Structures are given as C-alpha cells and as structure tokens.
Structure 1
C-alpha cells in the first residue's frame, strides 16, 4: 500500500467562514470535514493518507484572519492529520510584511502563503506589482513558500516573479490550472504548446516545484500526457501528489484521482512513487 501525503486539501466550513465562490458551484457541498476526507479514501487497499497540507479556502475578506487562526490551531493539534497550512495574506497590502513578521514567521505549521491570482477580477500582471514582488521576497526571508495559483495564460508572469524572487521557494498549484481537454482537440495546439513552454520555463528555475492536481478527469489515457510532461520537466524531486479535495469532487472522486496517479506513475518505479506521493512533500514543506 502506498503511503501518501496529500499536499492540497481544503476543509470547507461556510458556517464559520463565508465561501462566496461556492454559490456558483452547485455540485459542491458548502461544508466538508476532516472526517469526510478520511471516509473518502478508507475502504480501498491501494493507498493510505498519513498527512495533509491544508490550503486556505478563499473565505470572504472579513473572515480570512479568523480562518488563518483556525487552521493553524487545527495543524497544531496532534490528533489531526493536518501537518501544515497555507495561509492567506493580502500580498499587495503595504502592511503584508508586518503581518508576515508578527503572525507567521514563528509559526512552524505555517508552510506557505497563497494569494489566488486566477480570479477573473484580478489583473493578469498583478503578481508583478512592486508591492507584490517585495512581499514575496519577504516570504523567502523567513522560509515561507509562495503557492502560485495562476491562469494558464499568466504562467509567463510566474516565471518573471520567480526570477525576481530567487530566495523564495514557489509551489505551482494544479500544474497551472491546465485544461486537459485541449490535448484531444487539434484546433487547440497553440494552447498546448504555450502551456508546455511555460511549464518548461518554470521547471528550469531551481526555486519552483509543482503540485500534480487540478484536472477535471481521471481518464488515464486523457491525462497521462499532461502528468508525464510535468514529471519529465520538474524531475523526480520536484513534483508532489495533491488531490484538491473536496473541489475535485465537482468532476472526480478522491479515489479515482489517486488511482489514476498511481497508475500513471507506476511505470517510473517504486522509488519515484515514494518521492512523488510522500518524500518530496516532507522535504518541500519541511514536515
């Protein structure tokens, strides 16, 4: 049985932290618990999740500070599987550096910061705003990583940002939120080519790692070229398994996704699988 660290899990609790984005996702429940996550993979004999990284849930602005504090508390509880958290910081706020220094630099369970850049209301070049760049640099000063969650067309800006902040480690979320259907559509070759170039450019930077997650299908034949491209580009030491539970449930189950990852990675051998599913997360997130 493969032991697993899931590097991207959300525990949704709309009753505690308003999640406005869920209003447009009727296929997703507004609440999910650690028990729901546990139950989603129990009962099968191919893998076992030992630890998870909890990623901020894009709560409404007035709830973000409470959400950060809540999940830091959860991660500190030895009875939970949560071993680290990605918190939210307003990265274009002039006070961001002060927040990092006063609230997070001495919190060992705070592994990273995520500021979602793929929302339609965010400017494509927001991450290159001088304030954003300086705050990302500040994260590196304290060993806190930046979770890069961008639209595919904005990945070139992530390359620029990572070059401007060489002392900060970046974790690319969801392989750049790539659309898997493009690989089955000859008319979208330009999209595929652009994504592959951006992934290669990101992988060429030593401060970039990649979470393999976020696709809307678990069809091995459909998604294997995308997964394999990331495996080849980033190499065996800079890729991590992630589920994006429960958001993944809009299209696929946790088990279907994980089984697909097991099947696709199997041809690379057990050592690769151990790194991908477990060891790399320990190293990258300092667990």
Structure 2
C-alpha cells in the first residue's frame, strides 16, 4: 500500500530559526530529508507534504521556498498569520514563492491565546484561500475544538483539515470529552480529519490497541472519504518512531477494504490537497 505523508516536518537549524525548539530538547537537532527518506521509503511512503514547523515569522517565506526544493516533497503547507491585516499580501508572496506547490496554510492555534482566531478578520482572511484552492490545517488542543468549529462555520467555502485527530489527551484524560467534541467538528462538511500526531500523547510502551479507539473514532466520525494520514515526523519520535507509527496505522485498518485503506493512505490526500 503506497502512502502519501501529509504531515512531514523537516528541521534545518543552520538555515532557519525555530524558537520553540528550545523547549523541546529531544528533537532540537537537524532532521533532514535524506534521513527521513531512508526510513520512509521502505515503509511504502512515496511522497510527502511538508508541514510548516513554526519557524520565526521572518523565516516563513524562506522555509516554504527551501522545502519545496527538497527531494520527494510534492507540496507544502506553509505558515501564515491570518490575524494580521497584511495577510493578503503575505498570501500573495507565499503563492509566488510556491509556484503552484503551496497546497495549504497553517497557523498553530494551540500555542497562542484562544482569542487570536476569534476576530472576524481571521475568518475573512481565511476565506481568501478558497479562490486559490488552498486548504487550512487546524492545529488545536482537544479542549479548543470549538475554535475550529467557529472558523469552519465562518468560512464554509474553505476546506479545513483537523490535525492530529484533534489532539486527544490519551495518556491522561482519555476518550471523553474529546469524543463528543470530535463528533461536533466532524459534523461540518468542510472539515477533514488527519490521522496523525497521537503517538506523542502516549507512554512509550503504547501499542496499536492503545491508539485503536482514537483512530477508529476519527474515521467513524469523518467517514472514509474525509480522512488523511500523516506521520508528524519527527515529533512522533518522542515516544515512538516513524516505522512503529506506520506499522500501527496499517494494523488498525487491516480488516478494512482495500478501497478504504487506499483512501486513508493516499487517495483522499491527492484529492483534498489537489496533488494531481
């Protein structure tokens, strides 16, 4: 089964600034595209979308341009600042740098106050994405999923992708109240679900069965036509590895039809992110 990875982070500290990595010593080092492909290709990963790595704001354009020149990177989800009045100009610059290969944008919302995404300006700026066929990835904590609901309702013409299964707190709180909040955001037809980024919410001794109820609930809530898969590499290495996560994801959906597995691992990604 071939895989399109919709959530790869690459880290090049010699070229770009990542202020947040000072608080993440376990992954505060270079993570190159060559090292990624050495592990990814034997697992069936054939292509990857680079997901912005919350670089310093001054490096957003530089990150986007740089990663699009790396082997196997078929597109980028670029960082942005929709809360700023000059967002339209930033969008135009990203589109020019990307030359058709910027497939979406993301603003990490769990690292900023909740009221950053609340003003109408934020939603109005996101609505500009629709005319360019761009998506917006939502990166929220489980207790913030209502913020994603509000944005998706304000910008119904935009396709949103909820990163990391909505970040359930597997190791502490567990399934509830995440389960109901996930249902509520999945009920919006312009929101897709990304099966990614949950391994780091577990103890290192997790198994596929630890993850199964979360993955299955996401797929059940969104349906097989509205889910994509992502590695969240290298964050996945905090409590696992790219290999263990791929193997677990395959095991969890092993009893599903070939068609549904293809939708999760590459067909939906190609459609939703317009990779054809």
TM-score w.r.t. the length of structure 1 is: 0.89
Q: Which runs of 5+ in 1 are unaligned?
A: 75-79, 183-187
In 1, are the aligned partners of 2:61 and 2:93 still within 8 Å (CA)?
no
- The alignment partner of 1:193 has SS state of coil
In 2, are the aligned partners of 1:127 and 1:158 still within 8 Å (CA)?
no
Pairing of 1:8-23 with structure 2 (within 5 A) = 8-23=7-22
**Match of residue 62 from structure 2:** 66
Aligned equivalents of 1:231 and 1:8: distance in 2? Answer: 18
Shift of 1:130: 1.7
Q: 1:91 aligns with which of 69, 82, 85?
A: 82
1:118 lines up with 2:106 in the alignment = no
Please give the root-mean-square deviation of Cα atoms over the aligned residues, in Å. Answer: 1.6
Shift of 1:65: 2.4
Structure 1 moving runs of 4+ over 6 Å: none
**Match of residue 230 from structure 1:** 218
Note the alpha carbon deviations across 1:183-217, whole angstroms, 9 max, x for none.
Answer: xxxxx4xx633211221111111111111011124
Aligned equivalents of 2:80 and 2:114: distance in 1? Answer: 19
Q: 2:152 aligns with which of 162, 166, 180?
A: 162
In 1, are the aligned partners of 2:106 and 2:137 still within 8 Å (CA)?
yes
Shift of 1:29: 4.3
Tell me: CA distance 1:97–1:150, structure 2 relative to 1, closer, same or farther (3 Å).
Answer: same
**Match of residue 185 from structure 1:** none
**Match of residue 208 from structure 2:** 220
- The alignment partner of 2:108 has SS state of coil
Aligned equivalents of 2:17 and 2:90: distance in 1? Answer: 22
Q: 2:46 aligns with which of 35, 45, 50?
A: 50
1:255 lines up with 2:266 in the alignment = no
Aligned equivalents of 1:238 and 1:176: distance in 2? Answer: 14
Q: Which runs of 5+ in 2 are unaligned?
A: none
Note the alpha carbon deviations across 1:146-165, whole angstroms, 9 max, x for none.
Answer: 11001211101110110110
- The alignment partner of 1:27 has SS state of helix
Note the alpha carbon deviations across 1:10-32, whole angstroms, 9 max, x for none.
Answer: 11001111112111222114211
